[in-house]
Amino acid sequence: MTFPNPLDVREASASGQGSDRAASSARSPVVVEARKLSLVYPTADKPVTALSEVDLTIGRGDFVSLIGPSGCGKTTLLRVIADLERPTSGRIAIEGMTPEQARLKRLYGYVFQAPALYPWRTVERNVMLPLEIMGIGRAERQARAREQLERVGLSGFERKFPWQLSGGMQQRVSIARALALQPDLLLMDEPFGALDEITRDHLNLHLTQLWRATGKTCVFVTHSIAEAVFLSTRIVVMSPRPGRILDVIDCNSLPRERTLDIRESPEFAAIAHRVREGLKEGHSYDD
């Protein structure tokens, strides 16, 4: 697997995203704000509380990880932000708008657990799909798709079909597809969950470089403690039944620039320990 040199990425972003960043600094420092957010699913026997009175603020440029065991509502929370689920009560604002308005304005890019590439489209045409829907012209569509594929290290794979790529490469295509929209907010739902650990390390390193280069706000769902600590500026620890937030951990003790080595540092271990304690507190290891 090949990745572009991080320096190239930074340079590409300086020309490509410079205007974006200048514009974003003028806007409110808060991107996502949730207050007393609850979501209850009606089921046959008894209603299930997926989210219970969740309060969360995500600042511009943050990398926030939502961590917790299955059923803690981390994916639900992400889907509420994306307007793929409607909360039953409470307030949530994305850039000061309702999630629906934000979705209609295509303010976020969403990366699913599976690559969710359309098998009948080539890699390039998969990345161009959101741009087609936005009504962007053919030449610009192609230029943007190529730029994003280069950014995720997949130049030369434009004409391949998804089944010709490995799982890790497919997931990188889906990240390129989300980036092609040029969103300020990137929502990722366990994007590397199905990959082997070596590939996952590579992609984590790549993602943190991408995040630093583009200055995007990222919300990242995971159930891996190491992954959460490695990537995040803040970690939100969640617990199931009902889905709620137990702890919000700042990772300021780690440098903004991350290499795989920091995982050996005592600061890293301290944060990982606190996350583990938080998860224990929620009795999430009991079942």
Chain contacts with another protein (rule: CB under 8 A): 82-84, 103-104, 106, 108-110, 112-114, 116, 118-121, 129-130, 132-134, 161, 163, 181
Nearer to another protein by C-beta: 32 or 229? 32
Cα separation, 244 vs 10, in Å, equals 37
Q: Which two tokens stand for residue 87?
A: 């909360």
Q: At what angle do helices 6-16 and 197-214 cross, to 10 degrees?
A: 40
Residue 162 pairs with which residues in a beta bridge? none
Give least dist CB 187 to another protein, A: 8
Those residues with Cβ within 8 angstroms of residue 40's Cβ, 6 or more apart along the chain or in another chain: 47, 48, 49, 50, 88
Give least dist CB 178 to another protein, A: 9
Which single residue is written with the structure tokens 């793929």?
Answer: 84
Give least dist CB 231 to another protein, A: 22
Nearer to another protein by C-beta: 185 or 229? 185
Give least dist CB 129 to another protein, A: 7
Cα separation, 22 vs 39, in Å, equals 36
How would you classify the pairing of strands 185-189 and 244-250? unpaired
Give least dist CB 259 to another protein, A: 32
Nearer to another protein by C-beta: 65 or 126? 126
Nearer to another protein by C-beta: 108 or 192? 108
Cα separation, 223 vs 229, in Å, equals 11
Nearer to another protein by C-beta: 58 or 102? 102
Cα separation, 138 vs 270, in Å, equals 50
